[in-house]
Amino acid sequence: MIKRYMKLLIGLIIAAVIATGAYFGVLVKKNNDAKKAYEEIQKLKIFDFDPMDITSMSVKNSSGEYYFQLTGNGWEITKGEPFRFSADRIVEMATGMSQLNATKIVTENGGDDLSAYGLNDPVRLGFKLNDGKEYIAEIGKQVPGDSSWYLKTAGNDTIYIVSSDVKDSISAELDDMKDRLLFDASGTDDITHLKYIDHGTVIYDINKSGSEWKLESPFPQGEVNASSVNSITSMLIRAECVTFINEELTDLKKFGFDNPSYQIEVSSDKRSVNVIFGNYYDDARNYIYAYDRAIDQIFIFQTSELGFFGTKLEDILYKRLHQESFENISNFEMDILGTEINIEYNYVVAEGQTSSYKVNGKEINREDESVLETFNNMINAITGMCFDEVCETTLTNLKSQKPEAKIVYDIKDGKDYVLEFYKKDGDDSLLYIVENGVYTDTVIKKTSLENGILLYYKELTEKMK
């Protein structure tokens, strides 16, 4: 019996030894496979450096040779024909180069014909670091029937294949490096000058001093709405061209630049841009030709990015006619298109006192929410009245005319404020606005009075019956 148990124990020990050996054999094989896979991955890693250590960039492409130096003022061209480049694009190229990986190695044999890969005269992109090391990639042609590209490094025989995304990130042709933005700025606050011309007519020309915008022309007395300007400048700094057209501009008519549709001038402390827009590129008007005189460059922009097209002077102005503290007003005397309205206005904020109002002698019931709401709407229509259009002209015969409407603010501690509205010459739908006897160079639509003060007055009188 003991012998039988001994034989069984020895068999179990032998089986355990065999199993352990097999396990370690598998483990060793797995480790070897992992090591081999790691080595293969490492072979596909072309460059690995910190882009923050870069001090300069060199480029050789089909347009020539260019050298860029990183200075205290940012990137600057130190060699080659100057052009308006994108600093953001240089950062993108540097980032791409710093972690450059291939998808495949074609050959490590230096005997291959480089022309077969487009590497006999490649585009060269190099970055030099602060320790003196330089990393240079040579970009060949696209792999036939594929989206990938051939690439090698300077001084090495290995030819790689990189993905189209990797190639795009380091592509160094001239158009790849050009600034595609209509106006490159870190934010709208950088912009200090804006001039917009629509089919030869200056729509607005404004300059900023500190945080205040001032209208130079037309209508220099107009008050600029900074928020509205900010909406326009936000579009300007985001607008990016679709492509460049690199040809000598010998015929302005070809692109419609002889008679521009639009023109925009933008400036900051660092740069100024003057771009004209010509013909539309397509019948659907989704794209338009543009030309920057300073750099002699033709672009194509998508019109959806140029939302300032068609803006009017009124779009950037404060249009409210008058602002007055309600506490300063004692009465409104009005004649609106033949309807006389008198409002006794006793607005108080003192604790323990209650405001009271009368319209044509009738008390406003403050307990009736519907009546009070309509009354407040009418007051807001009076005090919040805005002009509709700028109309610069000289009026000489107003004294001989009767105004279509008149509003008098009776001011408690000051001179009354008077608005008068006269028919516009040749257009009965518009009314000249005269403020305290002086024409304001603005007009209001008659319907603004009809659908504002008059409408609420009629609703109020119905509710007060």
Q: State the burial class of residue 99 (Cβ atoms within 10 Å of its Cβ: 0-12, 13-18, 19+).
A: middle
- CB 445 within 8 Å of CB 223: no
Q: Name the burial class of residue 161, with classes exposed (0-12), middle (13-18) and buried (19+) by CB atoms within 10 angstroms of its CB.
A: buried
What is the C-alpha separation between 224 and 432, in angstroms, rounded?
21
Contacts of 278 (CB under 8 A, 6+ apart): 252, 255, 256, 257, 260, 261, 288, 289, 290, 291
> What would the pLDDT profile of 317-331 be if each residue is shown by its tens digit?
999 999 899 999 999
Structure tokens at 147: 């989206």
Continuous H helices in 278-337: none
pLDDT digits (tens, 9 = 90+) for 215-229: 999 999 999 999 999
Q: The tokens of 306 are what?
A: 């140029």
Using one digit for the tens of pLDDT, what is the confidence trace for 3-48? 555 565 565 566 555 655 555 555 555 555 555 655 677 889 999 9
pLDDT digits (tens, 9 = 90+) for 385-435: 999 999 998 887 777 789 999 999 999 988 999 999 999 989 999 999 999
Q: Are 235 and 308 in contact (CB under 8 A)?
A: yes
Record the pTM: 0.80
CA 276, CA 298: separation in Å to the nearest integer? Answer: 10
Q: What is d(CA 345, CA 458) in angstroms, rounded to the nearest whole number?
A: 18
More confident residue, 191 or 350: 191
Lookup: tokens for 365: 């019931």
pLDDT class of 312 with cuts at 50, 70, 90 = very high
Distance of alpha carbon 212 from alpha carbon 227, whole angstroms: 11
Task: Say what the pLDDT of residue 262 is.
Answer: 97
Q: If pLDDT is split at 50, 70 and 90, which confidence band does 64 have?
A: very high
